[in-house]
Amino acid sequence: MAVAKVAEITSSSTKSFEDAVHVGIARAGKKLENIKGVWIQEQKLKVDGGKITEYRVNMKVTFVLKD
Write down the pLDDT at residue 16: 98
pLDDT along the chain (67 residues), means of 10: 93 98 96 95 98 98 92
Strands (DSSP E) found in 1-67: 4-13, 35-48, 51-64
Write down the pLDDT at residue 67: 77
The model's pTM is 0.87
Helix (H) / strand (E) element for 20: namely helix 17-31
Write down the pLDDT at residue 1: 74
CA distance 19 to 22: 5
Q: Check residue 50 and give left, alpha or beta (phi > 0: left; psi -120 to 50: alpha).
A: left
Write down the pLDDT at residue 23: 97
